[in-house]
Amino acid sequence: MKGDKGARVKPLAPRIMAKRVFSGVQPSGSLTIGNYLGALRNFAKLQHEAECLFCVVDLHALTVPQDPKELHQRTLDVARIFVASGIDPDLATIFVQSHVPAHAELSWLLECTTYDGELRRMTQYKEKAARQEVVTSGLLTYPVLMAADILLYQADEVPVGDDQKQHLELARDIAVRVNNRFDEEIFKVPEPYIPPKTAGGRIMNLQDATEKMSKSAENPRGNIAILDSPDEIRRKIKSAVTDSGREIYYDEVNKPAISNLMVIYSLCSGQSLDEIKSAYVGSGYGQFKSDLAEVVVETLAPIQKRFTELSEPGVIEAILAEGRRKAEPLALPTLRRFQDRLGLLALS
Ligand code: ATP
Ligand code: LTN
């Protein structure tokens, strides 16, 4: 966003872009540096080369129990973090999933073309279901809602972290199946945009380098939240688990914890993994961790500052209202065409 409080400079003419990009983030916890490095940072880059839609996927968060007040607050906060981390509402469309009812409508139609076996074998479903006392059918059908999000906008590309690969493959399978059934391109088949691990595609938990950092993890000690204070960041990095030995080099198999910290260091500082390795020859983990903490604090400081500025009442709400106005007309033609092909009676 350019300018002060609401004085936004509108682009002079609609931008004609060759590609359309869609991605979503759940308001299911406080966003982590994993979300930032794996997804948000790329959103901000892509907005300059594609027509981008970034969505706070509140309906997805309902697949596991949520406190209504917290969900409400987090939905606004995720949108604020989008903008604070560099997504410009004049370049990209930022909106809330439940504000465009077509997502839920298309999801139902797609559920009727998806097999239960396809959903039961999803890794994330199996992992999340194992952690719940009761498993809702929403948790099972969640990847279909994600497919609906993407297919509704005829997205060419979907920037996500590595954990979403399987869900994206399902979205592609569903698109191909529907297109084949009607012998017509009802849906564009989307391409994943997943950074390699060394470029942030899978940031691991600081307390357990075999687990991905996740904002809804029970123990927040393994996460660095984008909004953590400098002291919290220093404390969490100091207590991060390390591997045996004292040397600092990248080796995902034998040194998964140090490798993860090196990736975070590299992406926050702009230094390559080799440069970091050379800089810390003979210095041990202590110095490396305390420098890493400062690099992370410096990376997050401007985001935190912008987040606070965006907390003024009405600012983010106005951005989301405009986002919905831009998103809905893009979604409806696809929904209507699919309804028609299925034989549903048009509104008269
Ligand atoms: P939850 O724990 O509630 O499932 P999450 O932290 O996995 O949430 P999402 O809202 O599901 O976050 O994901 C938002 C985006 O961030 C997705 O593109 C996802 O792939 C990416 N992402 C999430 N965690 C990581 C991570 N540890 N490393 C890299 N990318 C990540
Ligand atoms: N399932 C994703 C969030 C998500 C998403 C999407 C990502 C929902 N709809 C559409 C990309 C495109 C997750 O849990 N990270």
Residue 309 vs residues 81, 125, 328: alpha-carbon distances, Å: 11, 37, 28
Amino acid at 2: K
Residue 146 vs residues 37, 73, 156, 158: alpha-carbon distances, Å: 21, 22, 15, 11
- Would you say residue 248 has pLDDT above 90? yes
Average pLDDT over residues 124-136: 90
Ligand nearest to the CA of 203: 1
The ligand 1 site (C-beta within 6 Å) comprises 25-26, 28-29, 32, 34-35, 38-39, 160-161, 163-164, 200-203, 212-216
State if residue 107 touches ligand 2 by the CB under 6 angstroms criterion. no
Average pLDDT over residues 128-155: 94
Give the pLDDT of residue 192. 97
Rounded Cα distance between 279 and 273, Å, is 10
Ligand nearest to the CA of 153: 2
**Confidence grade of residue 38 (pLDDT, cut at 50, 70, 90):** very high
- Would you say residue 54 has pLDDT above 60? yes
Determine contact, residues 178/184, Cβ cutoff 8 Å: no
- Mutation to probe ligand 1, out of 204, 214, 263 (largest number of atoms < 8 A from CB): 214
Give the pLDDT of residue 15. 67
**Confidence grade of residue 217 (pLDDT, cut at 50, 70, 90):** confident
**Mean pLDDT for the chain?**
94
Residue 21 pairs with which residues in a beta bridge? 52, 157
Domain 20-196+313-342, what fold?
A: Rossmann fold (3.40.50)
Domain spanning 220-307: CATH superfamily: Tyrosyl-Transfer RNA Synthetase (1.10.240.10)
pTM of the model: 0.94
State if residue 24 touches ligand 2 by the CB under 6 angstroms criterion. yes
State if residue 299 touches ligand 2 by the CB under 6 angstroms criterion. no
**Confidence grade of residue 14 (pLDDT, cut at 50, 70, 90):** low
Topology match between the domains 20-196+313-342 and 220-307: no
Extents of the domains making up the chain: 20-196+313-342, 220-307
pLDDT in tens, 310-348: 999 999 999 999 999 999 999 999 999 999 999 999 887
Rounded Cα distance between 121 and 278, Å, is 43
